[in-house]
Amino acid sequence: MTSMLATPDVIALAQQLYSLRHDGSQVLTGQLVSVPVALEDAIDVQNQLSKLEEADANAWKVARSPVGDPVAAPLHPYLDNPPDAGIAWLRGMKIEVEIAVELCQDLPVRTDRTYERADIEAAISNAYLGAEMVWSGISEGGSLSFPAFLADRLGNMGYVRGPALPLAVLQPGTNIPLKLRLNGQVAFNAAGHHPTKDPLTWLCDYANNRSRPATALRAGSIITTGSLCGAIEVPCSGDVSIKLGEHTVLNFELTETARQGG
């Protein structure tokens, strides 16, 4: 498909988004150097932004556009359960507690048949507690232009992968007690559940997206599946403590200056 953006605009938008992220600054959608129209254009920009950020971890988030298109974006920085994880805090940042899965086999693009949920389950070796930091250089996020938000890596600003979970947490309709504390203050304390009631919905949708890259969803990939608690604003830097169920705990720090871990 022919891109609706010229190559210089793709590069210029990626550079602008990179600068906004680096500086912790935001602009209105109308102040972007260009606004992608098609999802293909947005993915071109996203790929260029990922190169600028050196986002090379095989870790991804899957989601769905407002009209139902399955989409994905890389997680960066991605911290793999380090003992002293630190991710930079930005004003307006939100946190989403999620379940991540690890693929033990490839899920290549299929043109002859679709992936059923059982196929996706069979390709998963492990599940983990995780936390995604969400922040966009676009003030309105994706409310005015979802393709622009997709270009900005769907607002991902970091991910911490925590301890392993039993695979039973992936079953549809599962509700698990979830407590989130920010600097010791309870920010969420209720049953956590996926927005679609099934953590594998968006991964299954993306697996069946025939326009996705052939290199996506390879064995060893980490895929985060969607928030169990919505997006909760983090008002300041400091300690994050998450408890899912009775025993699984993830602790890390949001810092004024990021420390690299893992």
Q: How far is CA 230 from the centre of its chain?
A: 13
Query: ∠ at Cα 70 (67, 75), nearest 5°?
Result: 125
Q: pLDDT, tens digit, for every residue of 223-253? A: 999 999 999 999 999 999 999 999 899 999 9
Per-domain residue ranges for the chain?
A: 56-255
Confidence at residue 81, expressed as pLDDT on a 0 to 100 scale: 72
Does pLDDT of 16 surpass 90?
A: yes
Tell me which residue has tokens 């050196």.
54
Q: What's the rounded mean pLDDT across residues 20-24?
A: 95
Tell me which residue has tokens 């932004």.
49
The CATH architecture one would assign to domain 56-255 is: Alpha-Beta Complex (3.90)
Q: What's the rounded mean pLDDT across residues 96-100?
A: 98
Confidence at residue 256, expressed as pLDDT on a 0 to 100 scale: 85
**Residues 92-114 as b or e (16 or more Cβ within 10 Å = b):** ebbbbbbbbbbbeeebebeeeee
DSSP string, the chain: ---SS-HHHHHHHHHHHHHHHHHT--B-GGGSS----SHHHHHHHHHHHHHHHT--SSEEEEEE-TTS-EEEEE-SSEEES-TT-EEE--TT-EEEEEEEEEESS-----SSSPPPHHHHHHTEEEEEEEEEEE--SBTTTTSS-HHHHHHTGGGEEEEEEEEEE-GGGGSTT--EEEEEEETTEEEEEEEE--TTS-TTHHHHHHHT-TTS-TTSS-TT-EEEEEESS--EE--SSEEEEEEETTTEEEEEEEESS-----
Which of 48-52, 85-89, 131-135 has the weakest average pLDDT? 85-89
Confidence at residue 19, expressed as pLDDT on a 0 to 100 scale: 97
Q: What's the rounded mean pLDDT across residues 155-160?
A: 97
222 pLDDT band, cuts 50/70/90, is: very high
Does pLDDT of 36 surpass 60?
A: yes
Confidence at residue 86, expressed as pLDDT on a 0 to 100 scale: 81
Q: What's the rounded mean pLDDT across residues 120-133?
A: 98
pLDDT above 90 covers what percent of the chain? 88
Query: Does the predicted TM-score (pTM) go above 0.85?
Result: yes
8 pLDDT band, cuts 50/70/90, is: low
Q: What's the rounded mean pLDDT across residues 206-221?
A: 95
Does pLDDT of 14 surpass 80?
A: yes
